[in-house]
Structure 1
């Protein structure tokens, strides 16, 4: 079996002759030749295969803050890559050329786990990120890459919507150092109508990360005017995070830009992000950030003890980094939650597309 038809895990046979994919809550039931909602998991004969194993829609070196992760080795670089397809159907998806791809020929680049680790080492990347489309749907590939990366001392980052069943979730996050989870709203009807998914499964993933793993995670909510930016909804989201995940959980509010099937929806006003940040902090969250806009105040990490500026950012550039060698505020000694080095990295706002492996099949 070729890499492009890699044996998949997480499925079982049904009495009616179909097989059911057990990776995510969609529970796709397939006959021979059919593909799941994500399009990349397919029934071939009497088994499930992952059709995108070893293939990618591209590779890029990014700042870790772009994932976004503000409390995970600030200023360092991360090798980012994704494949194709998605198990959500977000009408606002800003990577829809990748997430809705239906032709595997669009995956022009091939890379084995060893290729990716070697590239990360050659480019002096501290981390390797599974992003652009959701790594849940290429879990077998992501886990193999993550295992190889961690053996080489390279951190692993999942950028995901968190829409995954319990058994694969346990296996998947056992291989991850950090994650950014998209909490796309805080109403189930928003999830159903706008993303085609359910809120409860995402909250279960966030609770699992908090209570059952050592994975460092942060949360992002993309604010869409008129759909998920109601102040009361934002209060409920912040309250749930504070109560269930803890007040030190970083939350990023990012700006929507018209895209995909929502071209007539206006972009998010910067004032909406500022208001959302204020609401979340009023509800007890200590680290709330704004994204996709130029907002130095919303990029800055302050001490939850004395309020001093610990990490000052300008877009993806670190302007000031004031932490002790053990990650504490130098003024009051309050620890800063996250993963930090003695010094910040200096990768800055660069974006460096690279090639790995070979083009074509």
Structure 2
């Protein structure tokens, strides 16, 4: 029997499942194996999906299940698409009416399916969508849109908006994910647009697919140049090759070429860029300003000059095709809620467990279940922001999975290095003023974040703590504000990073003339994952100490990295194989018992 839900078109023998493992041939029909089971249900603002031109600032109920119909390398949602088991007790079973009740209780104007693909839970999403529409709620999703013509006809009756993630234009881009070609996706984008569904398209930008992305922009423009294109600068995770990550500078350069095809292009995963703003396609005036809000996310700003609550250009009168004006009230997500921060939380848990020697994914799921079943996300968010409480989390996880000795070994190693730093701190005569940026120079990390705690533990003074914040993981500040702060040292985040050369050039271009720029004391970390999200931050702490006080600290961080990898991961340290993943120590790391 052939499955008609997605274009993979699995032929499923009786009693078996298709490639995604979510549907079974019971002898009479294809059935959904895990209906009405949700991993996340929480309110979000729509820009965190991200969707930018549909009810800006609108509050929607995010629903997510598990699984996916495709299997893409470097997926942002691997932890829930591939690693969280479908039968986990962390999943909540809710009827469509109960989902609707959650939306109403939280004053949401609609329901949005994201993080994993609704094609993995298609009958469940259909029922929820139909129930929501009967009650007057809006319905949308993020999807790879690998719908068949049959399934598209079923869902498009209920859809108001969709973010379509295009993998690329070459057959290789889809064959690498388990599909065949992009043509069904382009067919579906055209059909959805013609049916009156609000469509936004997102595409991953790698440094080897830029011409493909330009061709994609042309194909979208043939449907409508008004369709927004979201350019997702590639963040290599899981088994992805870190060499495929383009720089922010390269992504911004491509952005200008894309604007020749489409009226509205947005650059994500590039903190500090101006290209999350909506520019008037006629005169170039900024109509809506936005700031980076974590991976794949954005936040609409009204406080800055140039932002408006109207969709008409104040300079030339051009009308921006936005469905509904922005909501007056901004919704602020809770810790680790709102799009992809949830998956990052699960990755951080996984990171600790892998470092204490866990090689069986079932043990990771056990800890996830304990945390999610006891509303542990807020406690995790608080705990990972301080060194002592981070150690408490390591020990707690060790007890939970009966690996106390391994957890204690990791803590002992980390405390030994901190003790060495503390022993020499009395010799520090002056704590330099340190600014911690993410991506481009203006994007300032929140003062309470862990990176700034590392700065102060290494003998620096964090000037990030002097700034009032409203964003996550920080916010963009003005050149004037940064110049007034006048940091003596600048560190660039090891997650969404920039090359030091690009960062320095941007400082010179924009008039940032602080002491750190004049003296060229701008640093990034030797490898990703060294300052947040993983116990590998202990390597970053030693590196920060070396850079802040080279006359006092002389850690051989490369030797320490080799020791750390061998002792806690059982593998050799190879910088070329370390990507942006919090959890996996390298792109070659595999679960041994799965």
Q: Which structure is richer in relative contact order (CA contacts within 8 A, separation 6 or more)? A: 1
Shift of the 190–345 alpha-carbon distance from structure 1 to 2, 3 Å rule, reads: same
- Alignment CA distance shift 1:224-1:157 (3 Å): same
The 1-side partners of 2:170 and 2:27 are apart by 39
Could you give the per-residue CA deviations for residues 188-223 of structure 1, whole angstroms, max 9, x where no partner exists? 222223554421111111111122x11101000111
How large is the RMSD of aligned CA atoms in angstroms?
Answer: 2.4
Query: Which of 224, 231, 250 is the matching residue for 1:272?
Result: 250
**Counterpart-to-counterpart distance in 2, 1:102 and 1:318:** 32
Query: 1:126 corresponds to which residue?
Result: 109
2: CA distance, partners of 1:222 / 1:95: 14
C-alpha distance in 2, partners of 1:344/1:276?
34
Tell me how far apart the structure 2 counterparts of residues 145 and 343 of structure 1 sit (CA, whole Å).
24
SS of residue paired to 2:275: helix
Q: Is 1:346 aligned to 2:325, yes or no?
A: no
Are 2:144 and 2:185, in contact at CA under 8 Å, matched by a contact in 1? yes
Which of 223, 230, 255 is matched with 2:233 structurally? 255
What SS is found at the alignment partner of 1:124?
coil
Q: State TM-score, norm by structure 2.
A: 0.52
Q: 1:97: which partner in 2?
A: 79
Query: Does residue 287 of the first structure (1) align with residue 264 of the second (2)?
Result: yes
Change (3 A) 1:164 1:96: same
Q: Which of 175, 178, 193 is 2:176 aligned to?
A: 193
Partner of 1:112: 95
Query: CA-to-partner distance for each residue in 1:99-134, whole Å, 9 max, x for gaps?
Result: 224732236211111111111121122221111111
Q: Distance in 2 between matches of 1:309 and 1:344?
A: 19
Higher CA-based Rg = 2
3-state SS in 2 of match to 1:179: strand
Of 199, 204, 212 in structure 2, the residue corresponding to residue 222 of structure 1 is 204
For the 8 Å contact 2:62–2:113, the answer to whether it is kept is: yes
Contact 1:234 1:279 in 2 (8 A): no
1:344 and 1:263, CA in 2 relative to 1: closer, same or farther beyond 3 A?
farther
2:54·2:322 contact (CA, 8 Å) conserved in 1?
yes
Pairing 1:1-361 to 2, within 5 Å after superposition: 19-101=1-83, 103-106=85-88, 108-211=91-194, 213-226=195-208, 228=209, 230=210, 232-243=211-222, 245-262=223-240, 264-265=242-243, 267-282=245-260, 284-315=261-292, 316-320=298-302, 321-324=307-310, 327-341=311-325, 343-348=327-332, 353=337
Match of 2:466 in 1: none
Bigger helix share: 2
Q: Per-residue displacement from partner, 1:35-88 (whole Å, max 9, x unpaired)?
A: 111111111232221012110122232221121111011122222122122111
SS of residue paired to 1:22:
coil
Q: 1:129 to 1:265 in 2, by over 3 A?
A: farther
Count of matched residue pairs: 331
SS in 1 for 2:226: coil
Query: TM-score by structure 1 length?
Result: 0.84
Q: Is contact 1:36–1:42 with CA below 8 Å preserved after alignment?
A: yes
**1:345 Cα deviation from its structure 2 partner:** 4.2
Shift of 1:237: 1.4
